[in-house]
């Protein structure tokens, strides 16, 4: 069923008319693919890839023709409305920045597209595309294409868009607690273990939803900065500019240019460009490691053997006696003992070098869900051991205690051979 509503007519015409062609510099940047052999890179490159993925300028697949997928609910904003809603895009309203441009905080009326006073109406996040940004107009269309049709508790909600002259903006629900990346790596207060499990489970459910449809979707850019959190730490996937329709029928994979973010891409995808849902599973394993360890997937600041998180952690994941050395030290002993074991096992399976050996995201969700109810925190075990040791000392026989108390004085022999009483 071809979608013919007004907003989509505008989008289709704009893509086909050729008016969206990026500048030569933008095309050059957007076609820059993943360096295939790089495991380490300089600080500037790290910052670039942490803020935004390298982008691929390719038109998304046609919208899925299911009767229940309808982008009519999206609001079409004017540029003036969004300019007013964000206070003229003032710097102090910036929520984040990436290759696409800036994300601003704004307020709109509850019943339409009109701007509202700060603190009233509905709080939104407005993503503004740079004219020569890495994301490009076609990726902007991909974002509208997918999020305009997909609805799930663990996908960020797209409220509307603006396409006016050369302006391209997207309007999302505002996620109160920002990104998982900020909580793991940029805040002094460590993210509690229970919240980490909740976030991992929610993100897994989002991926499982994308993979589980009759026409599966490969997210292709799963990373901590694309996992947003609401007030209750519910995780929602954002940024669908790199999402791609998965293989169908007898096809085992989709062949595509290698794009994404350093440290998260599956090795077989980097080497061959063959994309499957198991590519997302590998990326999930990397994020699960980041949640467990509190370390970035790639970190130039660490010693040479620890800069690549997967390479450093893999030997520990395979050894139950060493796995606790992976736990984020900021958690101290405030984590579930069995939970750590299970998370390490799931991460190990997701990071299998053999893509066929990796679990499906449905299986990952089933493995993570029971971990919410575990209360065997390491600190409780520690206190229990200390109490047992204390009771053992009190239960020592009276004579033994006397011997201990009445031990003869110890002597140290000096170099001269004389003994000195201590």
Domain architecture of the chain: domains with CATH: 73-173 (3.30.200.20), 178-378 (1.10.510.10)
Residue with tokens 């750590």: 340
221 has catalytic annotation: yes
Residue 238 neighbours by CB under 8 Å, 6+ apart: 156, 172, 175, 226, 227, 228
Q: Judge whether 309 and 303 are in contact, CB under 8 Å.
A: no
Say whether pLDDT at 21 is over 50. no
Which residues make Cβ contacts (< 8 Å) with residue 290, sequence separation at least 6? 184, 224, 296, 297, 309
Name the band, by pLDDT with cuts 50, 70 and 90, for residue 406. very low
Per-residue model confidence (pLDDT) at position 26: 39
Tokens at 107, concatenated = 């307020």
Evaluate if residue 253 carries a pLDDT over 80. Answer: no
147 versus 316: the higher-pLDDT residue is: 316
Q: What is the mean pLDDT of residues 127-139?
A: 70
C-alpha distance from residue 139 to each of 22, 121, 222, 274, 421 (Å): 11, 29, 16, 20, 82
Asked whether residue 162 carries a pLDDT value surpassing 50, the answer given is: yes
User: DSSP code of 100?
Assistant: T
What number is the average pLDDT over the span 171-178? 95
Q: What is the pLDDT of residue 389?
A: 63
In sequence order, the 6+-apart residues with CB closer than 8 A to the CB of 331 are 190, 192, 193, 294
On whether the CB atoms of residues 340 and 294 are closer than 8 A, the answer is no
Pairing relationship of beta strands 244-245 and 122-129 according to DSSP bridges: unpaired
Instruction: State the residue for tokens 């086909």.
Output: 16
Neighbours of 116 (CB within 10 A): 18
Q: Is 409 annotated as a binding residue?
A: no
Burial of 356 (0-12, 13-18, 19+ CB in 10 A): exposed
Note the pLDDT tens digit of each residue in 346-362: 999 999 999 999 999 99
Dihedral pair phi/psi, residue 54, rounded to 5°: -65, 140
Choice between 75 and 215, residue whose per-residue pLDDT is larger:
75
Report whether pLDDT(31) > 60: no
Confidence of residue 247 (pLDDT cuts 50, 70, 90): low
CA atoms within 13 A on the CB side of 249: 3
Rounded Cα gap, residues 402 and 397, in angstroms: 9
pLDDT at 391: 62
Point out the least confidently predicted range of 241-250, 281-290, 363-372. 241-250
pLDDT given for residue 321 in this prediction: 87
- Give the chain's mean pLDDT: 77
295 in helix, strand or coil?
Answer: coil
User: What is the three-class DSSP state of 161?
Assistant: strand
CB atoms < 10 A from the CB of 319, how many?
A: 10
Average pLDDT of the segment spanning 142-171 = 90
Structure tokens at 231: 């007030």
> Per-residue confidence at 115, pLDDT binned at 50, 70, 90?
very high
* Dist CA 379 CA 7 (whole Å): 56
Is the predicted pLDDT of residue 195 greater than 60, yes or no?
Answer: yes
pTM value is 0.75
Residues with Cβ within 8 Å of residue 168, at least 6 apart in sequence: 128, 129, 137, 140, 161, 162
Q: Would you tell me the crossing angle of helices 277-293 and 309-317 to the nearest 10 degrees?
A: 80
pLDDT attached to residue 148 = 86
Contacts for 259 with CB less than 8 Å, ≥ 6 apart: 33, 34, 53, 54, 55, 56, 220, 242
Is residue 227's pLDDT more than 90? yes
Q: Mean per-residue pLDDT for 227-256?
A: 79
Q: Which helix (H) or strand (E) holds 138?
A: helix 136-147
Return the residue matching tokens 């006016």: 164
Residue 206 predicted with pLDDT over 50: yes
Give the pLDDT score at 5: 40
Percent of the chain with pLDDT over 90: 50
Average pLDDT over residues 184-210: 96
Q: Which of 229, 347, 217, 253 is nearest to 291 (CA)?
A: 347
Tokens representing 61? 């697949």
Q: Which of 4-13, 107-116, 170-179 has the lowest mean pLDDT?
A: 4-13
C-alpha to C-alpha distances, 172 to 137, 168, 327, 382, nearest whole angstrom:
17, 14, 34, 45
What is the separation, in whole angstroms, between the first and last Cα of the chain?
A: 94
Residue 71 pLDDT class (50, 70, 90 cuts): low
Lowest mean pLDDT among 72-81, 204-213, 345-354, 390-399: 390-399
Q: What is the model's pLDDT at position 58?
A: 34
Closest CA to 25 of 102, 131, 103: 131
Q: Active-site residue among 145, 221, 239, 328? A: 221
Distance from C-alpha of 285 to C-alpha of 264, rounded to nearest angstrom: 9
Quote the pLDDT of residue 130.
76
Collapse the DSSP code of 173 into the 3-class scheme (helix H, G, I; strand E, B; otherwise coil) and give the result: strand
- Identify which has the larger pLDDT, 421 or 253: 253
């Amino acid at each position: 069923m071809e979608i013919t509503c007004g907003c989509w007519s505008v989008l289709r015409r704009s893509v086909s008319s050729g008016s969206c062609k990026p500048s030569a510099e933008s095309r050059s940047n957007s076609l820059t693919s993943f360096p295939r052999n790089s495991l380490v890179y300089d600080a500037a490159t790290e910052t670039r890839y942490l803020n935004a993925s390298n982008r691929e300028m390719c038109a998304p697949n046609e919208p899925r023709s299911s009767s229940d997928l309808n982008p009519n609910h999206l609001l079409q904003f004017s540029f003036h409305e969004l300019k007013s809603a964000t206070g003229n895009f003032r710097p102090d309203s910036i929520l984040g920045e990436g290759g696409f441009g800036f994300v601003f905080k704004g307020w709109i009326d509850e019943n339409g597209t009109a701007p509202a006073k700060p603190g009233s109406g509905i709080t939104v996040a407005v993503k503004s595309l740079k004219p020569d940004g890495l994301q490009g107009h076609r990726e902007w269309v991909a974002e509208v294409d997918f999020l305009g049709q997909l609805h799930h508790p663990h996908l960020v909600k797209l409220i509307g868009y603006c396409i006016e002259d050369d302006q391209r903006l997207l309007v999302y629900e505002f996620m109160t607690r920002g990104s998982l990346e900020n909580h793991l790596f940029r805040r002094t207060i460590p993210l509690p273990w229970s919240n980490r499990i909740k976030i991992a489970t929610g993100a897994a459910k989002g991926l499982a939803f994308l993979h589980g449809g009759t026409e599966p979707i490969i997210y292709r850019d799963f990373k901590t900065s694309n996992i947003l959190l609401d007030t209750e730490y519910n995780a929602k996937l954002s940024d669908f500019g790199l999402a791609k329709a998965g293989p169908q029928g007898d096809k085992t994979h989709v062949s595509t240019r290698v794009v994404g973010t350093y440290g998260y891409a599956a090795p077989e995808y980097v080497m061959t460009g063959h994309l499957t849902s198991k590519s997302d599973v590998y990326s999930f394993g990397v994020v699960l490691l980041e949640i467990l360890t509190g370390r970035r997937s790639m970190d130039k600041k660490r010693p040479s053997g620890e800069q690549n998180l997967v390479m450093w952690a893999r030997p520990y994941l395979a050894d139950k006696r060493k796995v606790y050395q992976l736990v984020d030290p900021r958690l101290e002993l405030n984590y579930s003992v069995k939970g750590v074991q299970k998370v390490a096992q799931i991460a190990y399976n997701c990071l299998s070098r053999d893509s066929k050996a990796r679990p499906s995201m449905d299986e990952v969700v089933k493995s993570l869900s029971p971990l919410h109810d575990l209360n065997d925190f390491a600190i409780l075990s520690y206190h229990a051991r200390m109490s047992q040791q204390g009771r053992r000392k009190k239960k020592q026989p009276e004579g033994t205690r006397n011997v201990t108390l009445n031990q003869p004085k110890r002597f140290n022999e000096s170099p001269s051979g004389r003994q000195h009483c201590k």
